[in-house]
């Protein structure tokens, strides 16, 4: 048991070290934060989405912005596509691939930003959400993993965690990235 614990902690540390050791990743984080700050300062909103653990990350990201993270401030306009009634209604009538894109079609506006989280980069409901966001004139940030998949080549700004064989290592770095983005947005929008 001890060996499993130590091996997992070591691997998690290695993935984070690989990510932070690449200067391009820091530049991607800065660029993504600037897109988010520009949207909020321009009176626009941030919409986030993801599947499974990435959905909970999308929810966590939105609540940190609309609630509070580190500083007492006005609420920032952020929401996640996570309403079960919307998801089940849309999946029933249009298929699971449409659950995020239909929401973006409904409330997305030019100047808004979509934060699409996918460890594989190939989830078709995320791909369709990115397409819908671009059709609405939105900017898209892709938080991806492994090789970036289809989503990596479709977004305005990609932040990619290479990870390992399993998604959990990627998700562990994703949550660090999301906290950094929240912090940067919070600091960049407080007047």
The percentage of the chain sitting over the pLDDT mark of 90, rounded to a whole number, equals: 92
- Cβ contact 75:67 at 8 Å: yes
| Residue pLDDT, tens place only, 131-172 | 999 999 999 999 999 999 999 999 999 999 997 788 999 999
Look at residue 163 in the predicted model and tell me its pLDDT.
Answer: 75
Residue linked to tokens 């902690």? 9
The pLDDT of residue 175 = 97
CB 80 within 8 A of CB 58: yes
Measured CA to CA, the distance from residue 162 to residue 159 in angstroms comes to 10
* Residue 191 pLDDT greater than 90, yes or no: no
pLDDT digits over 44-53, tens only? Answer: 999 999 999 9
- Output the pLDDT for position 35: 98
Banded model confidence at residue 71, pLDDT cuts 50, 70, 90: confident
Structural contact between residues 55 and 87, judged by C-beta atoms closer than 8 angstroms? no
Q: Angle 2-20/23-41 helices, nearest 10 degrees?
A: 70
Tokens coding 134: 């671009």
Distance (Å, whole) CA 64 – CA 62 = 5
Map tokens 């030019």 to a residue: 110
Residue 178 is predicted with a pLDDT of: 98
Q: Which domains does the chain have, with CATH numbers?
A: 2-189 (3.40.50.10490)
């Amino acid at each position: 048991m001890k060996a499993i614990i130590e091996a997992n902690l070591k691997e998690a540390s290695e993935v984070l070290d690989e990510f932070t050791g690449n200067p391009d990743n820091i530049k991607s984080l800065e660029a993504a934060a600037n897109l988010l700050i520009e949207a909020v300062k321009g009176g626009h909103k941030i919409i986030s989405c993801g599947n499974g653990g990435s959905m909970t990350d999308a929810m966590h990201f939105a609540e940190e912005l609309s609630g509070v993270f580190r500083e007492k401030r006005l609420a920032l306009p952020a929401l996640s596509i996570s309403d079960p009634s919307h998801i089940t209604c849309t999946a029933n009538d249009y298929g699971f691939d449409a659950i995020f894109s239909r929401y973006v079609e409904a409330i997305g506006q030019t100047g808004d930003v979509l934060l699409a989280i996918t460890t594989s980069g190939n989830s078709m409901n995320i791909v369709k959400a990115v397409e819908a966001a671009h059709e609405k004139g939105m900017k898209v940030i892709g938080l991806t993993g492994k090789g970036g998949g289809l989503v990596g080549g479709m977004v305005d700004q990609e932040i990619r965690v290479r990870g390992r064989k399993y998604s959990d290592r990627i998700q562990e770095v994703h949550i660090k990235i999301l906290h950094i983005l929240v912090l940067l947005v919070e600091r960049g929008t407080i007047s």
